[in-house]
Chains A and B, each alone.
Chain A
Amino acid sequence: MKIQLIELPNRLLDKMGLVKKDDLNVGQVDPKGIAEAERMVENLKKECPAAISGYLEELTKAWEDMRDLPDNDERAELSERIFTLAHEIKDLAVLSDAHLTAYFSESLRDYIGETELNLEAQRVIIQAHVDAMTVVNKQQLKDAEGEMAEELKGMVKIAIDKYK
């Protein structure tokens, strides 16, 4: 036998006491609930800039603590913390259309998560990201394009290319 096709009873419809008769949907998520959930997203978007600033402050502090440490467990822990914070910032930036913050936080997260970096490379690359993100946050830059955005991206790219 090459292929086993397993047909399952529809437990979820059963649970609601609904029966499917044809291809049409027998129900839907309450449209009022969807509208309410959409309002929640909009409200969270308003909170995002303050939340991003808070996380960026934490990230900068973690980086200051980590910067001059030798390659030890404490450095690894702080590196993981920076990874998590960058990831968190990225999610909030995407949600609130802060494209430039999303760009830098994703780049920082990926460099920490996927690249084997020596101490010197880490210093330069993380510092470049932190500097860029601080400027973006202070100036409340959203768009990932434009003169200033390109300049900041260029600055980070130089740091990355140096250690590629």
Chain B
Amino acid sequence: MFPGARDPNAPEAYDLSNFTVLVVEDSTYMSTLMASMLKAFSVGDIMECHNAKEAIEVLTVTQARSKSRFITNVDIVLMDWLMPGGSGEELLNWIRCHSKDEIKFMPVVVISGFTTEKIVAAARDLGANETLVKPISAKGLASRICNVIEHPRPFVNIKTYFGPDRRRQEQVINFEDRRKTTAEEIQVVKKK
């Protein structure tokens, strides 16, 4: 194959021109960088907020008016974790506890400067679909967006958790399964 030639077996490039992505990031530099990267990925509409409070106001309007011809729905939220004036934790909690389906099921990618597993685990336990640790790279961001599009996990609703299924794959276990939940105790709901 000639250098630069397209691999005939590679999947087609997404047309993201109808997508709206909300970037919630307090740093102007990082926010501008992320918006430019998304534009390079061909995302049609990019909205920027600088903290959780602003994002809550934007989402309340955009998602409530989902049938409006003039206000676009947000498709994916990219959020920083630590932000003065309303953190990512606060925003993610608000999203997953919301009464409206248009908000509570939204795909959320948490981007964090923290390198500790503790923060990644906290984001996952609050219902983040994906996490990405800074320094941000184009490949990393593209792969998280791709995962959100191609591999959305079903949502789990239990007393202590609401969010995407935290198990990413079926695991074969070679020992006695001690989980107490029986098939009758799992209710599968198909949303339209």
Residues of A whose CB lies within 8 Å of any CB of B are 1-13, 15-16, 18, 20, 24-38, 40-41, 44, 47, 51, 80, 83-84, 87-88, 90-92, 94-95, 97, 106
- B189 with A4: CB separation less than 8 A: yes
CB distance from A57 to the nearest CB of B (A): 16
Contacts of B154 on A, CB cut-off 8 Å? Answer: 5-8
Contacts of B186 on A, CB cut-off 8 Å? Answer: 1-5
In the complex, A16→B42 CA distance in Å? 13
Known A2-B181, A3-B186, A20-B150; contact A25-B29, beta-carbon cutoff 8 A: no
Interface of A is mostly: helix
13 contacts between A and B (CB under 8 A): A4-B157, A5-B155, A5-B165, A25-B150, A26-B12, A28-B12, A28-B142, A29-B146, A40-B37, A41-B136, A41-B138, A83-B84, A87-B82
In the complex, A33→B38 CA distance in Å? 9
Known A26-B150, A36-B40; contact A6-B157, beta-carbon cutoff 8 A: yes
In the complex, A22→B29 CA distance in Å? 39
Contacts of B138 on A, CB cut-off 8 Å? Answer: 34-38, 40-41
- A87 with B149: CB separation less than 8 A: no
In the complex, A29→B137 CA distance in Å? 14
Contacts of A38 on B, CB cut-off 8 Å? Answer: 137-139
- B26 with A29: CB separation less than 8 A: no
Query: B33 contacts the other chain (Cβ, under 8 Å)?
Result: yes
Contact for B84 among A1, A28, A51, A84, CB less than 8 A: A84
- A91 with B84: CB separation less than 8 A: no
In the complex, A12→B191 CA distance in Å? 15
- A12 with B40: CB separation less than 8 A: no
- A3 with B156: CB separation less than 8 A: yes
Contacts of A32 on B, CB cut-off 8 Å? Answer: 13
Known A38-B137, A94-B135; contact A5-B188, beta-carbon cutoff 8 A: yes
In the complex, A16→B148 CA distance in Å? 14
Contacts of B190 on A, CB cut-off 8 Å? Answer: 7
Contacts of A8 on B, CB cut-off 8 Å? Answer: 105, 152, 154-155, 191
CB distance from A38 to the nearest CB of B (A): 4
- A15 with B33: CB separation less than 8 A: no
Contacts of A47 on B, CB cut-off 8 Å? Answer: 29
In the complex, A12→B18 CA distance in Å? 10
In the complex, A6→B37 CA distance in Å? 32
Contacts of B18 on A, CB cut-off 8 Å? Answer: 15-16
Contacts of A7 on B, CB cut-off 8 Å? Answer: 154, 188-191
Known A12-B152, A30-B13; contact A41-B191, beta-carbon cutoff 8 A: no
Contacts of B105 on A, CB cut-off 8 Å? Answer: 6, 8
CB distance from B172 to the nearest CB of A (A): 17
- A4 with B14: CB separation less than 8 A: no
Query: B41 contacts the other chain (Cβ, under 8 Å)?
Result: yes
Known A7-B188, A30-B41, A84-B84; contact A44-B139, beta-carbon cutoff 8 A: no
